[in-house]
Structure 1
Amino acid sequence: MANLDKGIAGRTAHLSCATIDRLASQFRTALDLDRATELLPAGRRDYDEALHKPRELRAMVVDRIGKGTMDASRIAERLRELALKVESAVDGKKTSSSGVQAARDIAAVVEDLVRMKRCRAYVERVLHVEMLVGDLEDSVASIAMGLAERRFKIGGSGTVRGSGESFVEALSRLRSVEEAVAAISQSRPESGQLVRAVELRLDRAASTIRSATVAEFGLFLESMGWPPPLTIGERDFRDNSQRANPLLEASDSSLSRFKLYFRVLSGLQALQQKRASEQLKKDCLKSGKNTCVPTGLNVDTFLSYKPLWAMEEFVKPFASQATYHFKKWTQKPELVCALAHSMCQEFVDTVDVLLQPIISDAGLTGYNAREEWIRPFLLMVQSFLTSSVFPGLVEDVEERSAISRSATSLWLHTVDEILAFDSKMKSFLVQDAGVVRFTSGVDSVIQHGIVEKTGSGLGVVHVFVEQPHWLDVWAQIECADAWEKLMTVLNTEEAWLVKESNSTIIEKRIPSGVAAVMATMWSVIDRCRSLPQVKLRLAFVQKGVIPIAEKYHEEILWRCDQIRGFAGRATDLDVRKVALCINAARYCENKLQEWSEDYFFLELRLEDTCQKIESEPEFDLHDEDAEVSGLEGTIFDEVVSLYGSFRKDQNTNLVSTIIGNFEKCCKDYASSMASSIAETFDSVDGVSERYPSVKRSGVLGGQSFEEKPRSVSSSFVEALVMLQQVLQVLSDTLQEEDFTELCWSLMMRLDEVFVSTVLPQSRRFTSTGTQQLMIDVAALFQVFQPYSLRPASIFKGLTSAVKETCRTVK
């Protein structure tokens, strides 16, 4: 009984005291309820009389004001004639002091009459608007009364009756009031208080019309058999031909009724959008486009997406159907997406043909029937994943146990299904060949903004917008999974070899594994492209893509450090492995820089720069240096720098290793050349067949000696052969730019080493020793001749030392 009393109290809370007293007097006991049907006609008669009384009062007021207006007009005309006579008398100098005072009094009276005229016009506008608002409220009250009667009629079935024309009539009157209020706002800006008062009443009326229309629409859809029953078998929901389409099977009267409710709801929303647009245009002119104004409305609030009311009610029954099945498939996201896709696909074409003309006629800007039909199904799946799937998955993933691995697999599978589902749903929009047309001026800016806001809001992937932590988890999972798959490739020796099938000159020296790394990074990047916000895509790339490049850098660095003999006497195979790692680093560096020129990454770079500026309040955007340092570069700058440093370090290590081997090979040669200082010899043991005799004139610019040219020193041949083999391997393996840099560094280091280890400080050789030195130096230059046009110009110290030795020879 207590609950019943509370329910009755809730029902009567909105009734007046007089109505409650009347009902209490009529229903004193439970037996009095039997007389309810007898009292209903009397109540309806009283209600109709109450509705007619305001009309009679308004008619009486209008009649009285009209009569008063006629009298005021006659008085104003007489006074105007009198004023003219007074003015003519003044002009004829026939006036006296009393006449001047009378003229002033008459002028004051005329001013008062003008004010009265303005007041009369204002009252007329108020009465006109009041009459329109009154008619609107009468229609709204009639709609509310009829809905209450059908909903709560004793013994009634609750079915919808009537043609629904009352909704159309109420909508038409609402439009009339809106037009009148708009006219007043434009012609009389000072009438702001009147406009605000009327708008409050309009909001109440529109809210009542909308709620009543939604209720009637829901009852009508239910009576029409919408939506058709959903039977789920093993694959039944994937077969669109099995379900009936009530929209196609409905009678003409039912279909007209359906369109009527849809048109009313769309018209109500169009009026609201128009009023917000007009208010926004006024606010833009006053305070600027992005500034909040006293009305509380700004551009971002206006342009935020608002679902189409009619479509929202039209699709709502599908959510009730699908929720029951979704709860059974928390571990099977493919079934969830398949069911939602099937339900959407069944009716998308029918909805487009049937409802798009209604939306267009209503004047709604930025709304498309296909998109509005698709969006609720996307939100349906998104809501289910947000509430029932991802929270548990996040906990399982962060446990880092055996459960975590299965949760990771389910996470990736769920994301795969989300991306595929979004792609399928958006493909429905491609079939729409509609063209959006825009007007000029401020309206164009508003319309473009609405289309941009609504067009970017499609996709279940928006689940990561509201939960940034889930985005971080997704990026980390993608990175870990991608690297795990890459390691199965990189752990094979084939990943570090060059495939002969590579056709281009640039890639023919690239290990096959690095191509797999870059392809994997690109595939991970593709998975985040559908994220709606740039900052989300930037966060995903920073946490899911860049770490892959960093891990590969660590892998090639570790491989170079693990090569046997790299710190000592390196073999040709070791040199080739290191050179291929340098090529891999060069390839990654070039690819990342190439990617950075794409618009996708330029947008990320801009967002990254903006975030840094926001995090540094002292950053001066107008400072030229600060601006350049903030906008230059790419989001891969740190990784590119890592690979660049790796190449330089490995080039330096290669040069140091080659120099070390050269010094070892030249120990005997340095000793033999040292003996040429103390004694003269006429022959050198051993003749190199690899290096023929070299004329001295070819080495030092035409200087000649009487001695016959000799062959290269046998103790120097090993060092030359080592150099020739290493240079050949590096030339065949390294990219041209890296090889040129390495060869230049090697020659400069050899120049220093040869001068410091072979040549004596006094640089006084015998003539035979000098001749032998010139031949050996020529042979050294000949080793570098294929890679440098003028090796002697790089071996500056050695060339200068030989020339000095020639001048001091005795």
Structure 2
Amino acid sequence: MAEPCNPSDGTVLPNHMELSSSQLGFLDDHFSTCNDLSSSSSTMASDLAAMLNQICAELDSDLQSLQRNLTKLTVSWIYRSFAAKTALHKLNLNLHNLTIHTTSQYGIGLKKTQKILGEDLPRLMKEMLQIENIRNYAETTLKVEALVGDLEDAVFSVMKRQNRNIFSAILSNSSISTDLGARQEKLLQALKAMNDIEEVLVTVVKIHPDWLCLMKSVDTRVDKTLAVLRPQVLADHRALLASLGWPPKILASKIESGKIQDLPNPLVLMQADKSKTYSESFLALCALQHLQSRRDERQLNILRHKERDIGLWAIDELVSPIASRTEYHFSKWLDQPELMFALVYKITRDFILGVDDVLQPLIDRARLVSYSAKEAWVHGMIQMLSGFLEKRVFSVLAERYKENQARQEVISSWLHLIDLIIKFDKQMQSLMVTEAQLFGGSEGFSRGISVFSIFCDRPDWLKIWAKIELKDACKKLKVESKDKRAWLVDNRHGTELHIAGTIEEFLLYSREDHKAPLIAESALKIAWEMIERSQTLPTILPRSQFIRLTSARFLWYFFDVLLWHCKGTEFHSDVLDDDSLTRVCISVNAARYCESKLQEWSDDVSFLEMRITENVSNCPTEDDASDNRCFFEEEIKILSELETSWLMEIITDLLQQFETLSWEYVQINEHGGREQREVEAVNFTISVEFVEALDTIRSHLNVIRTSLNPKDFSDLWRSVANGLDHFIFRSILMSDNRFSDQGINQFGADMQALFVIFQPFCARPEAFFPCIRDSLKLLKMDKEDVRHLKVILLGDEDRMNYLRCSGISHVSFDQAWRILRNSKFKI
């Protein structure tokens, strides 16, 4: 650093100890010697001073601008947030310190500015957003408070006008209409305020779902207001209906005699002024219901998941006075429930056209999309009857069902009621066929438009109904199973099995194709009738539960009946008779037919839906619920096992009997020079010891062919052929029996006789006896081929390839060598 010096103009410079290191460094960079401060170098100093003054002026301008903006923000928002005020105060102090040290500490001031831009301003922005959120909350609160106040004022006006007329004597129809019209305006104001409140809350749910306290507070106040308003609106509407003469009088004597005439409809007969008043009241009630539905959807978040509500409060108010009048008649008809159903259907049918003509235009004016006046009317009438049946009929029957003495009477009454309900539901559905097509109605009954909705809410009654149906079904089947004609098979259908058959011949469709007995058709018919009765249940899960408790269990009962039918037919090789074979074949046919029908049922869309619903209700995760196996999987599985077991039993006993009858034939040590028997229709003779075995197997196969369905018979005879092939190959060809020339010829004749037995079933039966066929080729080889085979045996050539080239593919080389060793060649 240059030594200190005093300038010639007498200016006193500060002591270097009074300057900071940064200031000294700055001076050293621009004034290295004392001559730099002389008058000759004043230009350098003046330029430097000008530069410093410009920098300071720019910094001062930036600082002043920043202070002005900061002051404005502080004045505007300081009263809203104490935390923001504290942060702004600290920032102001930092800026003030920056002003003091700008000239002397230019580098430090730059770092301060970067800190302000990088840290303080983002923090300030966060505080500003919090203040903005508070402002929005306050504004929303004030807005909702005003709307709730308007709602409460309007409701108070409605109630005040009503209370003013409480002490009046008897109101005439005109005074009622006038009073209702006066309150209608205030009611509309209340509905408008409620709608505005709901609009605000829907927006809050979307944008600020964390404002729970605000929404809860508003909902509480609105709920209190609705608790006062809705009963009043309903009371006004009921008073208006009474002034219109609703409902018309019903004469019980004409009902019981069956001479009830068409009832007059006051909705169609009302005059213009009353029609206008009623329309306004109807629209107000629809609007109130619509607002309540919107509130429920918002509060419960069920907009996309709830079932479509088909009821309308205004139409329910038409049903309510009818219910109070008909209940008196219903109570007298507890032993004649058909009269209840007839009356409800009569009232519903007589009024449905008037309801549709008068009320559907009002529903359209109210913009209630997808609502139908017919559907709501039918729904209300069904719910009226369902409520009475639940309270006064089924509850009593369910209690009496627990008593053994009254159980039979309860079963009869219960089934009679079910038949009446099925008929009634179909009648009510026929009244709204157009609505079902227009509003997407599907097969079956929607919840609420079926009396069977009672069982959806009472699973204990559903189980009682299922027990009754199951017991009745088993009783019917038991009676039919005792009839011998039910187990007969029509042998005239499909008895011919052509050799050159096609695949279509083994496709089984009808009971006759399966050769199933009539008992199988009866069992499936009974099971399907219970399934059809379950289709009246309006929801899928109860429907599935009912089928599991009735049809599925009934099928298992039928499976036990099939097992019982086979009882006592356990075969033994020495007592295998045609009657036992036929009984088992009939059971196999019945099982096969039931399996095909259950698979057909399970492929139906309704059963697929039930299976999916069961999976969803039983499985906690979607991955587990994605298992879409068929509905009757367990039943199909057990039928398949029964079929396999019975067929294997037949095959096993046929082979065992053949082995027993051919024991002497197998034990012969030398095949040749034995007694022979000439057989008709063939040009060769058969060994005497082999005739009985062949004749027995032929006879049994013919019986089975006549009794068993074509598909299973095809599998059975192939399995029998395969078993015989292995038995003869192991017991004769792989034994130490010796074959002379005559013995080889006789063995070939015997095997040809065996092939002939299977000739009716295929074109080339020897193809199903591969081991015997290959053995005969070996036994009939000439000496030259045998010597060649011996060379191959002693050499290293591929032995199996040689056998395959010779047309022998099912006998190993060792087995072939053993056969030739016991032949006439003795190699």
Residue 545 of structure 1 aligns to a residue whose secondary structure is helix
Are 1:688 and 1:713, in contact at CA under 8 Å, matched by a contact in 2? no
Please give the alpha-carbon distance, in whole angstroms, between the structure 2 residues aligned to 1:346 and 1:238: 15
Please give the alpha-carbon distance, in whole angstroms, between the structure 2 residues aligned to 1:122 and 1:785: 94
Given candidates 346, 351, 354, the residue that maps to 2:350 is: 346
Given candidates 162, 187, 207, the residue that maps to 1:147 is: 162
Deviation at 1:800, TM superposition (A): 5.5
1:319 aligns with 2:323: yes
1:487 aligns with 2:493: no
Partner in structure 1 of residue 235 of structure 2: 215
Deviation at 1:248, TM superposition (A): 2.6
Deviation at 1:691, TM superposition (A): 3.2
1:641 aligns with 2:615: no
Are 1:586 and 1:647, in contact at CA under 8 Å, matched by a contact in 2? yes
Are 1:489 and 1:495, in contact at CA under 8 Å, matched by a contact in 2? yes
- Give the AA of the match of 1:634: C
Change (3 A) 1:801 1:221: same
1:169 aligns with 2:177: no
Are 1:767 and 1:809, in contact at CA under 8 Å, matched by a contact in 2? yes
Change (3 A) 1:406 1:500: farther
Deviation at 1:684, TM superposition (A): 3.2
Q: How does 1:457-536 map to 2 (within 5 A)?
A: 457-499=448-490, 506-507=509-510, 508=512, 509-536=515-542
Are 1:237 and 1:339, in contact at CA under 8 Å, matched by a contact in 2? no
Partner in structure 2 of residue 391 of structure 1: 395
Q: C-alpha deviations, 1:737-771, integer Å up to 9, x for none?
A: 21122112212332344456667931114443333
Q: How does 1:233-632 map to 2 (within 5 A)?
A: 233=253, 235=255, 241-276=261-296, 280=298, 298-299=302-303, 305=309, 307-401=311-405, 403-432=406-435, 435=438, 456-499=447-490, 506-507=509-510, 508=512, 509-563=515-569, 568-614=574-620, 631=627
Deviation at 1:718, TM superposition (A): 3.1
Q: C-alpha deviations, 1:263-283, integer Å up to 9, x for none?
A: 221122223334555xx3xxx
Please give the alpha-carbon distance, in whole angstroms, between the structure 2 residues aligned to 1:91 and 1:249: 93
Aligned identity (percent) is 27
Partner in structure 2 of residue 708 of structure 1: none
Deviation at 1:510, TM superposition (A): 2.3
Q: C-alpha deviations, 1:163-190, integer Å up to 9, x for none?
A: 5222331233224434654676689978
- Give the AA of the match of 2:183: F
Given candidates 233, 249, 252, the residue that maps to 1:232 is: 252
Given candidates 692, 707, 719, the residue that maps to 1:733 is: 707
Q: How does 1:696-707 map to 2 (within 5 A)?
A: none
Change (3 A) 1:114 1:519: same
Please give the alpha-carbon distance, in whole angstroms, between the structure 1 residues aligned to 2:65 and 2:470: 100
Please give the alpha-carbon distance, in whole angstroms, between the structure 2 residues aligned to 1:547 and 1:104: 83
Please give the alpha-carbon distance, in whole angstroms, between the structure 2 residues aligned to 1:342 and 1:164: 32
Q: How does 1:706-717 map to 2 (within 5 A)?
A: 711-717=685-691
- Give the AA of the match of 2:253: G
Are 1:167 and 1:209, in contact at CA under 8 Å, matched by a contact in 2? no
Partner in structure 2 of residue 774 of structure 1: 748
Please give the alpha-carbon distance, in whole angstroms, between the structure 1 residues aligned to 2:582 and 2:132: 101
Change (3 A) 1:691 1:476: farther
Please give the alpha-carbon distance, in whole angstroms, between the structure 2 residues aligned to 1:155 and 1:182: 39
Q: How does 1:750-769 map to 2 (within 5 A)?
A: 750-755=724-729, 761-769=735-743
Are 1:164 and 1:260, in contact at CA under 8 Å, matched by a contact in 2? no
Residue 165 of structure 2 aligns to a residue whose secondary structure is helix
Q: C-alpha deviations, 1:13-32, integer Å up to 9, x for none?
A: xxxxxxxxxxxxxxxxxxxx
Deviation at 1:137, TM superposition (A): 4.8
Are 2:728 and 2:772, in contact at CA under 8 Å, matched by a contact in 1? yes
Change (3 A) 1:239 1:774: same
Please give the alpha-carbon distance, in whole angstroms, between the structure 2 residues aligned to 1:778 and 1:170: 106
Deviation at 1:223, TM superposition (A): 2.9
Partner in structure 1 of residue 809 of structure 2: none
Please give the alpha-carbon distance, in whole angstroms, between the structure 1 residues aligned to 2:701 and 2:153: 98
Deviation at 1:589, TM superposition (A): 1.0
1:808 aligns with 2:786: no
Deviation at 1:227, TM superposition (A): 0.8
Residue 164 of structure 1 aligns to a residue whose secondary structure is helix
Change (3 A) 1:735 1:112: same
Are 2:739 and 2:822, in contact at CA under 8 Å, matched by a contact in 1? no
Q: C-alpha deviations, 1:473-500, integer Å up to 9, x for none?
A: 2122212212222233232222222347
Are 2:486 and 2:517, in contact at CA under 8 Å, matched by a contact in 1? yes
Gaps of 5+ in 2: 1-55, 82-130, 495-506, 780-818
Please give the alpha-carbon distance, in whole angstroms, between the structure 1 residues aligned to 2:399 and 2:132: 75
Bigger radius of gyration? 2
Please give the alpha-carbon distance, in whole angstroms, between the structure 1 residues aligned to 2:689 and 2:396: 75
Please give the alpha-carbon distance, in whole angstroms, between the structure 2 residues aligned to 1:96 and 1:653: 105
Please give the alpha-carbon distance, in whole angstroms, between the structure 2 residues aligned to 1:250 and 1:311: 17
Please give the alpha-carbon distance, in whole angstroms, between the structure 2 residues aligned to 1:726 and 1:395: 58
Change (3 A) 1:106 1:594: closer
What's the TM-score, normalizing by structure 1? Answer: 0.71
Change (3 A) 1:763 1:621: farther
Please give the alpha-carbon distance, in whole angstroms, between the structure 2 residues aligned to 1:547 and 1:125: 62
Partner in structure 2 of residue 696 of structure 1: none
Change (3 A) 1:165 1:611: closer
Please give the alpha-carbon distance, in whole angstroms, between the structure 2 residues aligned to 1:772 and 1:122: 109
Are 2:571 and 2:653, in contact at CA under 8 Å, matched by a contact in 1? no
Please give the alpha-carbon distance, in whole angstroms, between the structure 1 residues aligned to 2:768 and 2:303: 67
Residue 619 of structure 2 aligns to a residue whose secondary structure is helix
Are 1:688 and 1:714, in contact at CA under 8 Å, matched by a contact in 2? no
- Give the AA of the match of 2:168: K
Partner in structure 2 of residue 160 of structure 1: 176
Partner in structure 1 of residue 794 of structure 2: none
Deviation at 1:359, TM superposition (A): 1.8
Are 2:286 and 2:366, in contact at CA under 8 Å, matched by a contact in 1? yes
Change (3 A) 1:215 1:185: closer
Deviation at 1:312, TM superposition (A): 1.9
Residue 241 of structure 1 aligns to a residue whose secondary structure is coil
Are 1:352 and 1:369, in contact at CA under 8 Å, matched by a contact in 2? yes
Q: C-alpha deviations, 1:518-563, integer Å up to 9, x for none?
A: 2221121111123233221221111101112212211122112234
Please give the alpha-carbon distance, in whole angstroms, between the structure 1 residues aligned to 2:57 and 2:167: 80
Please give the alpha-carbon distance, in whole angstroms, between the structure 2 residues aligned to 1:421 and 1:237: 20
More displaced stretch, 255-264 vs 493-502: 493-502
Change (3 A) 1:141 1:429: same
Change (3 A) 1:725 1:374: same
Deviation at 1:346, TM superposition (A): 1.6
Q: C-alpha deviations, 1:113-150, integer Å up to 9, x for none?
A: 99999999999999988777666555534432332233
Please give the alpha-carbon distance, in whole angstroms, between the structure 2 residues aligned to 1:795 and 1:754: 10
Change (3 A) 1:122 1:779: closer
1:720 aligns with 2:694: yes
Deviation at 1:664, TM superposition (A): 4.8
More displaced stretch, 540-549 vs 785-794: 785-794
Please give the alpha-carbon distance, in whole angstroms, between the structure 1 residues aligned to 2:679 and 2:137: 118
Number of matched residues?
660
